[in-house]
Amino acid sequence: MSGSSENSGSTGNIRLLSDTLAAAKAADRAALIAYLPAGFPTVDGGIAAIKAVFDGGADIVEVGLPHSDPVLDGPVIQTADDIALRGGVKIADVMRTVREAYTATGKPVLVMTYWNPIDRYGVARFTAELAEAGGAGCILPDLPVQESAQWREHAEKNGLATVFVVAPSSKEERLAKITAAGSGFVYAASLMGVTGTRASVGLEARTLVERTRATTELPVCVGLGVSNAEQAAEVAAFADGVIVGSAFVKRMLDAPDEAAGLAAVRALAGELAVGVRKR
């Protein structure tokens, strides 16, 4: 029931992404999806951090494209984005990050970005370069489905997944439109530990996953503010993938030096990898 088909003649890695998620499901576990911004703490340091997270046990990594006004991100990721931008990170550095992470690991690497940088850069150029770098796709949290036709045309042509975000506030009709247009997986966004109790928010996320699954055969992966193995196991019990971002970034920010930061994110990935296997 997914909308976009996979283009076997392209250079993008949507098939690798789908196969990775399917392999996790076959092993009766959720996939561990990590998020780290490109250029943080430096371009080389960010690439090393992604490799460390993969070494620790992440199945998939989302590379954030730092933005000057990351309105949907919390203060931890905003801080990392600011460091990357002050360091002069460019889209070319994001592509290099994807290329080197994929080449070193052979694992799926996506880009997560707001729409404005792509729009300014050029959709055709961005999708072609991301595919050439070995990227698996793009997560576009602020691109409305009804305005996404041009992006999806170029993404499909280049073998890239288009991952849309759904929220508890999404009505059934909108859920169906979003999931029909997307490919790769569906990103289900909720909150943990910010509003309400953890139990009630967990229930809300579980309900969102069930509602989303009623509209699609795509895997449904949840970003919930997970920061430890226990929370990862809680989400893995009902989701196809557990997405962790701020916890990794915070480990890097809190580290006294880059080597300590790499060790910290590698260790966290290992803890979370254990958690997603306790479903």
Rounded distance between C-alpha atoms, residue 138 and residue 96, angstroms: 15
Is-catalytic flag, 257?
Answer: no
Rounded distance between C-alpha atoms, residue 220 and residue 34, angstroms: 15
| From 59, 62, 93, 129, active-site residue | 62
User: What order do you get walking across the sheet with 241-244 strand by strand?
Assistant: 161-163, 137-139, 109-112, 60-64, 31-37, 241-244, 220-223, 186-189, 165-166
Locate all alpha helices (DSSP H) within 113-148, ordered by sequence.
Answer: 115-121, 123-132
188-196: which pairs have CB atoms within 8 A and are 24 or more residues apart?
188/212, 188/220, 188/221, 188/222, 188/223, 188/239, 189/141, 189/165, 189/222, 189/223, 190/222, 190/223, 190/224, 191/224, 191/225, 192/224, 192/225, 192/226, 192/231, 193/225, 194/225
> Is-contact 41 262, C-beta < 8 A?
no
Is-catalytic flag, 19?
Answer: no
> Is-contact 11 127, C-beta < 8 A?
no
Phi first, then psi: what are they for 27, rounded to 5°?
-85, 5
Strand partners, 162: 138
| From 6, 44, 73, 240, active-site residue | 73
Which residues are the active-site residues? 62, 73
